[in-house]
Structure 1
């Protein structure tokens, strides 16, 4: 799964190249989730009568070459298909994808992220006729796909009633929260905060009592620039998600009555020197360096970053210790960490593909239960052990041969994969402890799932999402920084509504009214 299932990649839809010219030119099992037994296949994978063609697949970026990664060879042996893998770039992936689709590059499968911007781009391709309708092909050649992938997830991937993609379902968990120097807490004689008031008290102690030994250069809380809505803190104001249920209506943060309270609180942290004065300029690496070098006492990070952050922290200070704080409660008892739902990624077949039928046969073969399990976590006794319902990786071979197996997924065994997947967070017990704290130890009520995760394609919402989200983010940063007066919020809300916010709100809630029934 993607490391940052709830982080939205920047996309300039206005720069999207037209794909119209391309179109004109190119002619479940009952096995318990914790069981070690694989479910029976719905039907054998369809086979071809002659030699199988070599397929061409475009994947999301990863640090290693797909073609030489062990999973590629395993899949070739199991499915009989040799595949040439290419990657989208790490930066501006959408721009590159637009060029490839518009130029008619004959990929037999394209996998992108599953974030709202890529869902919008995928739907745009489908509406312009640039993608293959997968419904008839799956009916004929995809019994494992139909048996494995959650029907609700497949339904959410439809555009105008037709299925144009095989989605890989996001495993719902909380990802980012506030991570604190435990040794700083010990030095100031305080416990991890559980409320907003306690948080302020801790940050003040970090500023005034110099637990880091930096004098007046201590940074109580640091964040990266795009984290103007600080996870955990914003949840204590009832706004853990981009859109939250407010009195039965899904409401964007900027129109939420709690928005003003949140920016007032965050602005006060900034004015008091409790929030990093340079946060608006911080890259992700900058914020992490401030924390790991010993200058900052608290940071907002994803649990997947914990081992690397801890290694750097202990290298600089062997006695340093850090932990996640609990989900904070607001004055009215509100609490919440955002939990992902929906698509982790999307796989579609362009009309330019020369082997659409074989591409579906290949994807279907990957979802044969035993093949899928071995692709995802390897062989028992070699890559993992299984005991008491838990999969534990054997190192270093699991990391060497299955660490990036998730990037080969094109749909999952949605009944069993959430259990298989947990082997990935047991690669490092620091990683597991961080994930486990937020997603098992903390009460289930603290994890708020995104109701828009499995929404169907919503044209107005998709068209406006990135522009509006960027607009709100920039404005929120200026409010916290003091560059805009809080008294101007109503004027900005009016601008938001007239810039597509009203149309998006109506469309989203027309759907939400039916989804709740």
Structure 2
């Protein structure tokens, strides 16, 4: 789930009758005909919601917009999907709509593959209004030359990943939620040695993750660096996170945890199934993941153990006593949807997209079908029991299964609140106070020459730093070689890459 920002763009109780809502009899339909159009749409497959036109919300949106879909399901795996995306571009047979990472959509736009949507803003009053009223949206979405090449997802909360801990294990062992790296070490050690799951076996994996090295982010941030950003800005100057001296201290801490088997020895290879199993079977006591997983795991674990209680934690404090996290949901999502510049349905798709940004479209996207998935109580939408009382799934998972995935959108804070328990909403907002802006790589634009530098030099650097990060954590390489590691990265052309990132960052700051 988007999951998915400082409550930017909160809706003020919009309903379908609000002034400014799009005319649902015309939005998305051909001016010459009331017959729906069918367009091809490349999307990343989700096993929990393989897209079909008979899914409830897909049918609802088609009813409002007149647009039906010929779905092209790309691979679930992100890297494989990017490969599919690039092969589709290379084939020249471009679907009407393509979902993908913003930087890839911008690259395609610069090459003329995708439509420059900014040229159509006068025909998109709802999107234009959102951009005019929210400078952060416009700054993030536009390229340095003012182009907009994809339809965005606007998010509604800041908090993303946080430590999720078995509070009942802490209570059983007489421990408090850790606030510093040292306290975290003591808690994980107790989880390993004092049988908190009570099965009489030394089988506990104190901490696990499904997100490879990024899943270790909460352990790194108190040292002053973040795994959420490859580049770090200090006093306006761009530097490289992985050769920063603070990273050496963070790696030393992680190596200590790994060596004593306090973090999952298979963190670098775990998939979602293994991660889920570790937590659901009460082997693992902590993870670093999307805040919404608190409700998800409480529901699943409590089916077997009614006393289980997973709670969200604040970020750990650094040596200076400060707390922060750069794991955040962004004002504009990192992925979007582009329209083919050669589509025969451009006018209809412009209308289709703008409907989603209307008050009516926002209500439908966030809450679904009135009388089925939500009702209006004092003009405010509330989910029905169909959504909030599923015995096995958290509301977000139910919503996904209805087909509300691959559309442009503006998330509503009321959706975020309604889909989580009051406890999670309260803690989410508390953690949000610690969220700090990260390097805006998702929003930077590059010239063809700059892209060439990144492709020719940074790809190799990135692969090498990922490899060495794990080796330092495992202890396969001694941290005594950290300076050699940094020197090798410098020889691989880091200075040229940083120069490109600095230039792109400076342009971004001037938008």
Do both proteins adopt the same fold according to a TM-score greater than 0.5, normalized to the shorter chain? yes
Match of 2:20 among 10, 18, 41: 41
Gaps of 5+ in 1: 6-30, 113-117
Query: Residues 254-275 of structure 1: CA distance to partner in whole angstroms, max 9, x if unpaired?
Result: 0322101100011111222322
What is the distance in 2 between the residues matched to 1:376 and 1:229? 28
Query: Residues 270-296 of structure 1: CA distance to partner in whole angstroms, max 9, x if unpaired?
Result: 222322333334333323322332222
What is the distance in 1 between the residues matched to 2:72 and 2:99? 10
What is the distance in 2 between the residues matched to 1:59 and 1:123? 17
| Residue 41 to residue 494, structure 1, CA distance change in 2 (3 Å) | farther
- 1:226-241 correspondence runs (5 A): 226-227=212-213, 230-240=216-226, 241=228
The 3-state SS of whatever aligns with 2:497 is helix
Match of 1:205 among 187, 190, 208: 190
What is the distance in 2 between the residues matched to 1:224 and 1:136? 41
Query: Residues 101-159 of structure 1: CA distance to partner in whole angstroms, max 9, x if unpaired?
Result: 222334222222xxxxx3332233223322233333333x3222212345653453437
Q: CA deviation at 1:186?
A: 1.9
Query: Residues 214-238 of structure 1: CA distance to partner in whole angstroms, max 9, x if unpaired?
Result: 5443322223461356132222112
Task: Tell which deviates more after alignment, 53-62 or 66-75.
Answer: 53-62
Q: CA deviation at 1:199?
A: 1.0
For 2:174, the equivalent position in structure 1 comes to 189
The 3-state SS of whatever aligns with 2:188 is helix
Match of 1:375 among 350, 365, 384: 365
Task: Tell which deviates more after alignment, 118-127 or 257-266.
Answer: 118-127
| Residue 465 to residue 35, structure 1, CA distance change in 2 (3 Å) | farther
What is the distance in 2 between the residues matched to 1:227 and 1:88? 25
What is the distance in 2 between the residues matched to 1:443 and 1:353? 41
For 1:351, the equivalent position in structure 2 comes to 341
Match of 2:56 among 64, 70, 73: 70
Asked if structure 2 preserves the Cα contact closer than 8 Å seen for 1:385 and 1:391, the reply is yes
The 3-state SS of whatever aligns with 2:245 is coil
What is the distance in 1 between the residues matched to 2:130 and 2:204? 51
Query: Residues 379-413 of structure 1: CA distance to partner in whole angstroms, max 9, x if unpaired?
Result: 5665335679975321205766676565243253x
Asked if structure 1 preserves the Cα contact closer than 8 Å seen for 2:21 and 2:359, the reply is no
User: Is 2:468 the counterpart of 1:475?
Assistant: yes
| Residue 481 to residue 422, structure 1, CA distance change in 2 (3 Å) | same
Query: Residues 162-199 of structure 1: CA distance to partner in whole angstroms, max 9, x if unpaired?
Result: 33222223444222222222222122211111111211
| Residue 453 to residue 383, structure 1, CA distance change in 2 (3 Å) | farther
The 3-state SS of whatever aligns with 2:355 is helix
User: Is 2:261 the counterpart of 1:273?
Assistant: yes
For 1:84, the equivalent position in structure 2 comes to 70
Asked if structure 1 preserves the Cα contact closer than 8 Å seen for 2:375 and 2:381, the reply is yes
The 3-state SS of whatever aligns with 2:76 is coil
What is the distance in 2 between the residues matched to 1:442 and 1:375? 26
For 1:427, the equivalent position in structure 2 comes to 419
What is the distance in 1 between the residues matched to 2:21 and 2:286? 50
Asked if structure 2 preserves the Cα contact closer than 8 Å seen for 1:174 and 1:447, the reply is yes
What is the distance in 2 between the residues matched to 1:159 and 1:32? 27
For 1:441, the equivalent position in structure 2 comes to 430
Number of aligned residue pairs: give it: 477
The 3-state SS of whatever aligns with 2:351 is helix
What is the distance in 2 between the residues matched to 1:326 and 1:135? 40
The 3-state SS of whatever aligns with 2:217 is coil
For 1:15, the equivalent position in structure 2 comes to none
Instruction: Give the alignment's Cα RMSD to 1 decimal.
Output: 3.3
The 3-state SS of whatever aligns with 2:162 is strand
User: Is 2:308 the counterpart of 1:320?
Assistant: yes
For 1:484, the equivalent position in structure 2 comes to 477
What is the distance in 2 between the residues matched to 1:142 and 1:427? 29
Gaps of 5+ in 2: 389-394
TM-score by length of 1: 0.81
What is the distance in 2 between the residues matched to 1:89 and 1:505? 32
Match of 1:166 among 135, 141, 151: 151
| Residue 40 to residue 256, structure 1, CA distance change in 2 (3 Å) | farther
Asked if structure 2 preserves the Cα contact closer than 8 Å seen for 1:130 and 1:350, the reply is yes
Asked if structure 2 preserves the Cα contact closer than 8 Å seen for 1:2 and 1:344, the reply is no
For 1:264, the equivalent position in structure 2 comes to 252
For 2:328, the equivalent position in structure 1 comes to 339
TM-score by length of 2: 0.82
Asked if structure 1 preserves the Cα contact closer than 8 Å seen for 2:41 and 2:70, the reply is yes
Match of 1:450 among 435, 438, 448: 438
Query: Residues 439-490 of structure 1: CA distance to partner in whole angstroms, max 9, x if unpaired?
Result: 312361x112324056331354764666544432221111010011112222
User: Is 2:389 the counterpart of 1:407?
Assistant: no
The 3-state SS of whatever aligns with 1:505 is helix
What is the distance in 2 between the residues matched to 1:485 and 1:64? 45
For 1:13, the equivalent position in structure 2 comes to none
Query: Residues 338-386 of structure 1: CA distance to partner in whole angstroms, max 9, x if unpaired?
Result: 2132424211122342222222122223333223322331356653356
| Residue 474 to residue 285, structure 1, CA distance change in 2 (3 Å) | farther
